[in-house]
């Protein structure tokens, strides 16, 4: 089981050395991903999903808060001693092209982590070959035809399968799939999502989907937990079906629907959905972070901070003073 408590992360603004503004990428995020379980983090570009995924995989530090893996608090360990824990959390990121070394065959790519494990556990070369075949067959690739090939000789979907196979060489406890299908041809996406689902069932590996796309988030399965993230904060959380069939936070409703989110004081209906990054909200940290975009805001929303929790007879956790199940028009797939 992997948990996070009150994880925060602030970055210095990128690019401009004269600009000392900070980006609050995560503002106190809690999560629980049970052994063999599934979760989806969903939210617009820039809301902090990748940062959170990288922290969970041990690739990025956080400022405050605690990550606990199988009962061990990572802060209680020296960085070196955290490695065996984080090694079992494997990140699959969106670009299988850059994830694979173009000068190495698939065989060489898989052999690197396998050789390390063989050395650590005193196993033979024969074991490495067997294991390479095994992980390729787990991801639905034929070892005979791919082992000798280079990444550029494979399709995007096959490359992503190789990346997943490489992650499996370390017997991971969790796969973190960060927009893992966004750069893959639409016709091949479902196959990769089905593969992740299948690996979860067959190997008991937990899967964390990070995505801006509702259709993908939904694919984690009925028992998955959905975390809706807005500006570094979880605004709604609960079983995926509960949230998709009855979202209560206006931000979730805007994500799930084709109805535009209203912006500022403009006339209802006139504005398209405003991407988070297009709004300069960096100095607007009072009250509910969503208030300025929210068509249902009241005075309270502008001065008090809503905390994620249950209440008002609603089955999912929400951080909203005026939660209400609203009918939303589902976006057509592929948009
Ligand atoms: N290394 C970094 N340096 C500075 N700012 C960063 C860095 N990584 C992410 N950010 C900023 O943190 C915020 C969250 O980014 P990210 O986690 O990549 O969001 P998402 O994956 O949801 O699109 C964004 O405003 C982004 O510009
Ligand atoms: Mg991202």
User: How far, in Å, from the CA of 70 to the mean position of ligand 2?
Assistant: 26
**Closest ligand relative to 42 C-alpha:** 1
CA-nearest residue for atom 6, ligand 1, is 11
Closest ligand to C-alpha of residue 177 is 2
Ligand 1 lined by 23 (C-beta under 6 Å): yes
Using alpha carbons, select from 27, 22, 45, 13 the residue that is nearest to residue 276.
45
Residue of 9, 41, 51 with the most ligand 1 atoms within 8 Å of its CB, for mutation: 51
The per-residue pLDDT for 78 is 96
Give pLDDT, residue 166: 96
Indicate the pairing of strand 314-318 with strand 233-239. antiparallel
**pLDDT for 147-172, tens place per residue?**
999 999 999 999 999 999 999 999 99
pLDDT in tens, 235-263: 999 999 999 889 999 999 988 875 444 44
Name the residue at shortest CA distance from atom 26 of ligand 1. Answer: 46
Q: Which tokens in the block code for residue 268?
A: 């209802």
Q: What is the pLDDT of residue 277?
A: 45
| 281 token code pair | 């909200």
Instruction: Dump strand ranges (E) for the chain.
Output: 2-12, 22-33, 38-42, 64-69, 72-73, 89-92, 174-178, 206-211, 225-230, 233-239, 309-311, 314-318
Specify the long-range contacts of residues 268-277, CB closer than 8 Å, at least 24 apart: 268/295, 275/44, 275/45, 275/46, 276/44, 276/45, 276/46, 276/47, 276/230, 276/231, 277/45, 277/46
51 Cβ below 6 A of ligand 1: yes
Q: What's the DSSP call for residue 278?
A: G
CA dist., res. 20 & res. 103, Å (int):
40
d(CA 237, CA 220): 14
In this predicted structure, the answer to whether residue 264 has a pLDDT above a threshold of 50 is no
Report residue 272 as tokens. Answer: 């398209």
Closest ligand 1 atom number to CA of residue 45: 23
Task: Please tell me which of 24-38, 259-273, 274-288 the model is most confident about, judged by mean pLDDT.
Answer: 24-38
The pick from 50, 55, 94, 180 for probing ligand 1's pocket by mutation, whose C-beta has the most ligand atoms within 8 angstroms, reads: 50
Mean pLDDT for 267-284 is 46
The domain limits of the chain are 104-170
pLDDT number for residue 334: 44
CB 7 near ligand 1, within 6 Å:
no
State pLDDT tens for residues 192-241.
Answer: 999 999 999 999 999 999 998 888 888 877 789 999 999 999 999 999 99
**Binding site membership of 54 for ligand 1 (Cβ less than 6 Å):** no
Is 101 a pocket residue for ligand 1 (Cβ < 6 Å)?
no
The dihedral region occupied by 36, where left means phi > 0, alpha psi between -120 and 50, and beta the remainder, is left
Residue 47: the pLDDT is 95
pTM of the model: 0.89
Is the CB of 24 inside a 6 Å radius of any atom of ligand 1?
A: no
Of 16, 46, 208, the residue with max ligand 1 atoms within 8 A of its CB, to mutate for a pocket test, comes to 46
- Give φ, ψ of 324 to 5 degrees: -155, 135
Proportion of the chain in helix, strand, coil states, percent, rounded to 5:
35, 20, 40
Q: How large is the angle between the packed helices 156-168 and 125-138, nearest 10 degrees? A: 130
- pLDDT band of 330, cuts 50, 70, 90: low
């Amino acid at each position: 089981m992997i948990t996070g408590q009150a994880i925060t992360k602030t970055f210095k603004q990128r690019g401009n050395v004269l600009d000392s503004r900070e980006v609050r990428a995560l503002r106190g995020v809690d999560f629980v991903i049970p052994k063999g379980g599934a979760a989806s983090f969903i939210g617009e570009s820039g809301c902090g999903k990748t940062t959170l995924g990288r922290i969970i995989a041990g690739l990025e530090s956080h400022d405050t808060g605690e990550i606990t893996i199988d009962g061990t608090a990572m802060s209680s360990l020296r960085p070196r001693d955290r490695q065996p824990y984080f090694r079992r959390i494997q990140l699959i990121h969106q670009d299988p092209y850059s994830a694979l070394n173009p000068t190495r065959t698939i065989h060489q790519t898989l052999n690197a982590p396998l050789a390390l494990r063989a050395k650590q556990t005193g196993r033979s070369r024969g074991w490495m070959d067997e294991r390479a075949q095994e992980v390729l067959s787990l991801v639905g690739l034929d070892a005979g035809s791919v082992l000798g090939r280079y990444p550029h000789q494979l399709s995007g979907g096959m490359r992503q399968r190789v990346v997943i196979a490489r992650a499996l060489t370390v017997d991971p406890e969790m796969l973190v799939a960060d927009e893992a299908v966004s750069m893959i041809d639409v016709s091949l996406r479902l196959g990769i999502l089905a593969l992740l689902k299948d690996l979860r069932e067959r190997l008991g590996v937990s899967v964390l989907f990070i995505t801006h796309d509702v259709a993908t988030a939904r694919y984690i399965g009925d028992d998955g937990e959905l975390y809706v993230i807005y500006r570094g904060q979880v605004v709604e959380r609960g079983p995926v079906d509960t949230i998709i069939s009855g979202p209560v936070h206006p931000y979730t409703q805007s994500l799930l629907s084709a109805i535009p989110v209203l912006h500022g004081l403009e006339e209802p209906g006139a504005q398209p959905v405003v991407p988070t990054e297009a709004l300069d909200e960096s100095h607007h940290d009072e009250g509910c972070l969503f208030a300025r975009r929210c068509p249902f805001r009241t005075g309270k929303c502008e001065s008090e901070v809503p905390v994620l929790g249950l209440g008002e007879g609603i089955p999912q956790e929400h951080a909203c003073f005026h939660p209400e199940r609203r009918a939303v028009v589902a976006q057509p797939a592929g948009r």
